[in-house]
Every structure is written in structure tokens, then in C-alpha cells.
């Protein structure tokens, strides 16, 4: 969708809300902005200049930090769309490469565009050989997310010819490099933790097959990627590709708003994703299921999740935006059964346990009242474990798949002629000015 300078402004300039300061009786008219879908927004850009007030919204629960034409979520109805296409349709009919193209360019590619895009991504899959030395600097037991933050940030030091953010061609090359090299970087982080040799990318394989090959192949024997496994991997990548202005995407946008290069910005996004309230939840779900262990212990954990004095939360449940079943969880729930069937793991006890936990939680008044439903992470961990990934790699896979979303959002911001450095303000609650105390007079 074409972006115009005044695309955000309501065509009817009479659409305003009135703000009244009840202490002085003064009033101001604030414009209402309308998107194509979703709640309208009150334009407070001139609020401080015109009124002297800030808005106060820690956690940004009521704040639209930007406008965007990439992803739409209706959390009440459980809808997720990329560029107008439902996530269920993309997961069913598209490939991750097509979704990457869609997010970056706004339309699904025709055959020629798809082939050219895939060629460009394939062409960039190798890492600069010098970058291997970075891995050797890490302890073997480092968390692979720690390695990801370091190595992706270090890309800024290697690919100088794609760090000029004012050049559209360099922005495109940086985008393709990040999408292409992320699987290589992630697989190498895993290999390093095992003490196995790095496996170089293979350009005759699809994106998902290549990643699985680099992760699980060893030089001494042939490794054949099972088509069903590659398809499941590709679907997981699609489901994690973008999710509008979540914590890590906002981090990438804020880092990029100062003009920082895209490799550094994506490294910042990876750091933000790492936390257990965000991308780290899939790892936490599996640990929780292992801790619960048996169906008999589920009520005990449900009780703990409801106890205000217990910090325990049911991981994989609840979402800031979805107040209905997360549509990605619905796709993965189905996928989970298919993959486990295909791998001959139909009786996997963890899946059984997860299904029972979901059933009990969905029937529980507390979870219903607070609209806490399973989110994408509830089922992804079970599939990833079945595919052979250790829990420490789960968030890495999320980062790999989300890279296209980060970079598409970053690109959209850089190409917006109205973009400015992000600089929130605060409600200061510290001391007012007070006299300096010399050290010998301090208590």
C-alpha cells in the first residue's frame, strides 16, 4: 500500500476529541486518526507543545508508536494478517520465502520474483570466514542466544557495503543478508555447543532444508532431510515471521530510529526477544511441562498460577494483544499432531500432558475471566523438541524466523519521510532540587 505523508490524517477534519483541563477549564481539540482496520487513534503529537501535558502509558498498552501497513492483529477476534493475507492461508499455502517477500515488498511474489528472491537469499547464505573466530571466543556452554546477540551485532563489522541506510540498494542487500545468514549463524551456534564441526550451507536445498542440514548433519555420514520435517520447520518460520509492534520489533525500530545500521538493530531485537515474557516463553513452556511431569500434578500448577503470592505463571498462556485463542497456536496445535504422527511419536507424553493442561485451563474460571488462552509458544516447543532441537535453541529459531519481520519494520520506518528519533518522555517522581551535601556531612 502506497504511503503518503497525510495517510494517517482523518479525511474529515471535524473528527476530533476534546480534552478538558478541569482545573483551568481550558479545552483543546485533538485530531482522530483512522487506519484501514482496527481502533482509531488520538493524535497527540502536538499535545505537549500545545498543552504542556505528556501522556502517561508505561508498557504502551494504549499507544500506537507508529503507523504500519505490514501486519494487522485483532486480538479480540484472534485474527492475524500479513499485508491483508490471513496467517492460516499463508501457513497452509505459502512458503517462508514467499512470506519474507510479502513482508518486505508488500505483495506475494509471482514465479519470476520468487525465483529471483530465492536466488538472492541463497547467494548470501555463507558467512565471512573470519566470523568463525567469534564463535571460538565463546564458552562452549554459552546460551546460543548470547552467541546470536554477539555474532549478529558483529555483522556490522564485516558487511560495510550494506550499512549505509540512506541507500535503498544497501538496505535491500542488508535485508537479504540478514535473512540468508541467520540460519547459518544459528546452526553454527548449535554446532559450537556440541563441539561438532560447522556445516556449510548448501544452495541446492530449500531455506528450511538447508537450516536443518546445517544443524543436524555431520561430515562423516549422509543426512537426508525428511520432507515432512522440512515442511513443519518452514511452517514454524511462517508463524513467527512478524507480529507488529511487539517488544523486540519496537526495540529494533527504536534502535534504528537513531540511524544505527540494521545489523546492530537486529542484534538489539534479539536481546529483547530473549526474555521469558517474549520469545523465551517457548523454552519456558517445555521446562514447565517437564516440571509438571504427570497429568495428576496439573491442578497443583494451575493453583499456583492463580495464586497472587506465587510468581509462577502458566507459560504459553496469555498475550498482551490476543484476548482469544492465538491463531498461530491453532495452526501449530494441528501441525503438532501431524508432525508427531509423521515421526512415529503419536504417544509423546508431553503432547498428552499439554493437551490436558490446555483443557483444564480453558475450563477454569480464572483463565476465562482474564482471557488467558494458549499462545504460539504453547505448542511450538513440543514440535521443536520432536524435530530434535534442544530447548536452548527454541528462542534462537524464533529469532531466525522473526528477522524478516524486524527488517521489514525497520525498512518501513526508514522509508517513512516522517520518521524521527524515538524519544519517550517520563513522569519524574524523584527529588526536587536540593542542596549538595559534602562527604563529611553525609549520614
Active site residues: 319, 377
Binder to ligand CMC among 109, 256, 262, 279 (CB under 6 A)? 279
Binder to ligand CMC among 150, 153, 183, 316 (CB under 6 A)? 316
Helices (H), 79-125: 87-93, 96-105, 111-123
Whole-angstrom Cα distance, residue 104 to residue 404?
7
Q: In the structure grid, which three cell numbers stand for residue 343, read together?
A: 515421526
Task: Please state whether beta strands 85-86 and 79-82 pair in parallel, antiparallel, or not at all (unpaired).
Answer: antiparallel
Whole-angstrom Cα distance, residue 201 to residue 239?
23
Binding of ligand CMC at residue 78 (CB under 6 A)?
Answer: no
Binding of ligand CMC at residue 333 (CB under 6 A)?
Answer: no
Instruction: Pick the piece of the chain touching ligand CMC (CB under 6 A) from 63-71, 217-225, 308-316, 429-437.
Output: 308-316
When the beta carbons of 246 and 403 are compared against ligand CMC, the nearer one is 246
Whole-angstrom Cα distance, residue 40 to residue 33?
6
Q: Least distance in Å: CB of 225 to ligand CMC?
A: 27
Binding of ligand CMC at residue 267 (CB under 6 A)?
Answer: no
Instruction: Pick the piece of the chain touching ligand CMC (CB under 6 A) from 11-19, 72-80, 211-219, 311-319.
Output: 311-319
Q: In the structure grid, which three cell numbers stand for residue 341, read together?
A: 504422527
Instruction: Report which residue's Cβ sits closest to ligand CMC.
Output: 318
Instruction: Pick the piece of the chain touching ligand CMC (CB under 6 A) from 108-116, 190-198, 375-383, 388-396.
Output: 375-383
Q: In the structure grid, which three cell numbers stand for residue 410, read together?
A: 525497520
Binding of ligand CMC at residue 304 (CB under 6 A)?
Answer: no
Nearest to 355 by CA among 292, 261, 311, 402: 292
When the beta carbons of 122 and 385 are compared against ligand CMC, the nearer one is 385
Whole-angstrom Cα distance, residue 198 to residue 187?
8
- 235, containing H or E segment: helix 227-239
- Mapped onto helix, strand or coil, the DSSP state of residue 221 is strand
Binding of ligand CMC at residue 372 (CB under 6 A)?
Answer: yes
Backbone angles phi, psi at 86, to 5 degrees: -65, 140
Binding of ligand CMC at residue 257 (CB under 6 A)?
Answer: no
Q: In the structure grid, which three cell numbers stand for residue 76, read together?
A: 479480540
Binder to ligand CMC among 153, 201, 256, 318 (CB under 6 A)? 318
Binding mask 197-236 for ligand CMC (x = CB under 6 A): ----------------------------------------
Binding of ligand CMC at residue 377 (CB under 6 A)?
Answer: yes
Which residues have a Cβ under 8 Å from the Cβ of 259 and sit 6 or more positions away? 165
Is the CA virtual torsion 182, 183, 187, 188 positive or negative?
negative
Binder to ligand CMC among 181, 253, 278, 333 (CB under 6 A)? 278
When the beta carbons of 155 and 400 are compared against ligand CMC, the nearer one is 400
Chain residues in the site for ligand CMC (CB under 6 A): 243, 246, 277-279, 281, 305, 313-320, 370, 372, 375-377
Amino acid at each position: 500500500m502506497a504511503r503518503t505523508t497525510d495517510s494517517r490524517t482523518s479525511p474529515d477534519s471535524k473528527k476530533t476529541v476534546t480534552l478538558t483541563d478541569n482545573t483551568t477549564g481550558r479545552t483543546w481539540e485533538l485530531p482522530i486518526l483512522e487506519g484501514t482496520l482496527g481502533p482509531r487513534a488520538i493524535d497527540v503529537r502536538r499535545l505537549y507543545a500545545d498543552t504542556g501535558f505528556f501522556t502517561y502509558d508505561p508498557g504502551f498498552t494504549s499507544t500506537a508508536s507508529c503507523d504500519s501497513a505490514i501486519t494487522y492483529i485483532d486480538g479480540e477476534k484472534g485474527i492475524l494478517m500479513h499485508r491483508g493475507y490471513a496467517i492460516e492461508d499463508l501457513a497452509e499455502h505459502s512458503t517462508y520465502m514467499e512470506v519474507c517477500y510479502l513482508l518486505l515488498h508488500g505483495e506475494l511474489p509471482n514465479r519470476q520474483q520468487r525465483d529471483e528472491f530465492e536466488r538472492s537469499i541463497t547467494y548470501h547464505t555463507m558467512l565471512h570466514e573470519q566470523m568463525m573466530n567469534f564463535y571460538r571466543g565463546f564458552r562452549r556452554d554459552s546460551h546460543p542466544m548470547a552467541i546470536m546477540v554477539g555474532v549478529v551485532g558483529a555483522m556490522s563489522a564485516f558487511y560495510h557495503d550494506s550499512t549505509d541506510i540512506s541507500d535503498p540498494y544497501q538496505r535491500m542487500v542488508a535485508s537479504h543478508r540478514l535473512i540468508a545468514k541467520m540460519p547459518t549463524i544459528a546452526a553454527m551456534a548449535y554446532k559450537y555447543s556440541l563441539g561438532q564441526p560447522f556445516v556449510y550451507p548448501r544452495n541446492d536445498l530449500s531455506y528450511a532444508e538447508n537450516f536443518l542440514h546445517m544443524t543436524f548433519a555431520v561430515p562423516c555420514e549422509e543426512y537426508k532431510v525428511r520432507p515432512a520435517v522440512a515442511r513443519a520447520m518452514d511452517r514454524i518460520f511462517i508463524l513467527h515471521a512478524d507480529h507488529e509492534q511487539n517488544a523486540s520489533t519496537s526495540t529494533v525500530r527504536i534502535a534504528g530510529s537513531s540511524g544505527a545500521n540494521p545489523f546492530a538493530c537486529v542484534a538489539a531485537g534479539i536481546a529483547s526477544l530473549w526474555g521469558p515474557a517474549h520469545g523465551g516463553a517457548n523454552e519456558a513452556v517445555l521446562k514447565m511441562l517437564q516440571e509438571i511431569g504427570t497429568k495428576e500434578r496439573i491442578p497443583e500448577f494451575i493453583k499456583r498460577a492463580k495464586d497472587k503470592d506465587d510468581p509462577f505463571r502458566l507459560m504459553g498462556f496469555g498475550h498482551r494483544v490476543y484476548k482469544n485463542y492465538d491463531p498461530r497456536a491453532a495452526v501449530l496445535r494441528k501441525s503438532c499432531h501431524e508432525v508427531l504422527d509423521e515421526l512415529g511419536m503419536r504417544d509423546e507424553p508431553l503432547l498428552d500432558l499439554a493437551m490436558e493442561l490446555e483443557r483444564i485451563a480453558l475450563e477454569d474460571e480464572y483463565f476465562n475471566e482474564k482471557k488467558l488462552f494458549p499462545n504460539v509458544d504453547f505448542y511450538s516447543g513440543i514440535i521443536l523438541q520432536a524435530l530434535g532441537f534442544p530447548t536452548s535453541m527454541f528462542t534462537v529459531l524464533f529469532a531466525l524466523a522473526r528477522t524478516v519481520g524486524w527488517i521489514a519494520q525497520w525498512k518501513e520506518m526508514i522509508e517513512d519521510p516522517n520518521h524521527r528519533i524515538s524519544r519517550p518522555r517520563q513522569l519524574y517522581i524523584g527529588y526536587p532540587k536540593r542542596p549538595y551535601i559534602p562527604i563529611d556531612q553525609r549520614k
